[in-house]
Amino acid sequence: MASNSVKRAFKYRFYPTDEQEAELRRTFGCVRTVYNLALEARTEAWREDGGRINYDQTSALLTLWKQTEELAFLAEVSSVPLQQALRHLNTAFIAFWNQRSGYPRFKSRKKTHAAAEYTRSGFRWRGGELTLARMTEPLEVVWSRSLPEGAEPSTVTVSCDSAGRWFISILCEDPRVQALPATDAEVGIDAGLNFLLTLSTGEKISNPRHERRDRARLVRQQRALSRKTPGSRNWVKQRRKVARVHARTADRRRHDLHELTTRLVRENQTLVIENLAVSNMIRNRKVARAISDAGWRTFRNMLEYKASWYGRNLIVVDRWFPSSKLCSACGALAESMPLSVRVWTCAHCGVSHDRDINAAKNILAAGQAVTACGDDVRPRRNSPGGRSSAKQEPRAREGRESRFSEKS
């Protein structure tokens, strides 16, 4: 297999037997326990004398925990997922020290995604059948798509979502992922709500609004849940029904975004998008549901890794860039641009603009400037440290408007 192949995860649904489900649920509980114990030990060590406990030290602690009467149950499951939990915690601390994320948090039995990761020593892959450690029978996997020919999985992650569906993610090298032939096509992309995306080519991609399709069903299921006694068997069953509605909506959204991002990456060599602060934008109650349903963050994540896979260039423009108020024909900056204005005419050159297409063209131009000379795409000022001119409003004000450019 080629050494430069991309490592890719293939996710499948599977149906465990009663014995396999019991074993996996025990494993999930042990993984969560080990993670929390190690996090507590590392936190206490830092509080006491400012010391840091590394992975090797937590691995030694795991051996001691198994020997105690209180935690002897940790020895009843495979040790591989437990060691992987310690590695994941170590990775979380490294990200925290490098200021890429917040301090690691404890895992909750009710809120944490149930998952366990097995490395090569924790499973057997033979003849297209997958058998996990401590199990005698292979998993009944629904092979919805084929693995690469001759694939040898390096890790296998088993998970169960809130809807009660079981999934297995197989990580292996995929030699089929190769850089696409170079092209001169470039595109600027403006995200919105009335239209999910507007391209600099003039194409507008409609917003499927997946959440609206199942809103009535979701309301019925949530009302039924509110009538159940929390913690009862009927409450657990009804909670799973609510989760299934959410899962169906998420699956549809993910499917459409995969098709859309794949098409954009295949057709264009350079893609330019805005650096939207989605976590801040959803604080606006009026548009929070619509923004969450649009999946802008997922869209960007997909573009990032697919552009890396297929040799494309992805440029992210500063979030304060006044793409909506800037004339793409002459470069003049309008003094104001209310959200209700969808078509406007430049007072300097007289060109009429569709608000969203104009924004997409400006985003593309800003990306081209960055590519050519590393130019700053933020609003320019008359003098260093000086105030903006009458035609160039402060960044913070433009930021509030550009964040919701066609997003209301």
Kindly name the residue from 23, 173, 174, 190 that is annotated as catalytic. Answer: 190
Return d(Cα 303, Cα 314) in angstroms, integer: 8
Kindly name the residue from 173, 174, 186, 356 that is annotated as catalytic. Answer: 356
CB of 74 within 8 A of CB of 29?
A: no
Nearest in space to 155 (alpha carbons), one of 118, 116, 114: 118
> What is the helix (H) or strand (E) element at residue 365, kind and residue range?
helix 355-373
Q: Does residue 356 have an active-site annotation?
A: yes
CB of 199 within 8 A of CB of 281?
A: no
Question: Parallel, antiparallel, or unpaired for β 313-317 and 343-345?
Answer: unpaired
Return d(Cα 381, Cα 152) in angstroms, integer: 56
Alpha helices per DSSP H over 176-319? 210-213, 215-226, 233-267, 278-281, 288-294, 296-309
Q: Does residue 19 have an active-site annotation?
A: no
CB atoms within 10 A of CB 66: 16
Return d(Cα 85, Cα 37) in angstroms, integer: 11
> What is the helix (H) or strand (E) element at residue 271, kind and residue range?
strand 270-274
The answer for residues whose C-beta is within 8 angstroms of residue 89's C-beta and 6 or more apart is 35, 38, 39, 42, 58, 104
Return d(Cα 394, Cα 166) in angstroms, integer: 50
CB of 104 within 8 A of CB of 95?
A: no
Kindly name the residue from 174, 211, 274, 393 that is annotated as catalytic. Answer: 274
Give, in degrees to the nearest 5, the angle at Cα 358 between 284 and 294.
35
Active site residues: 190, 274, 356
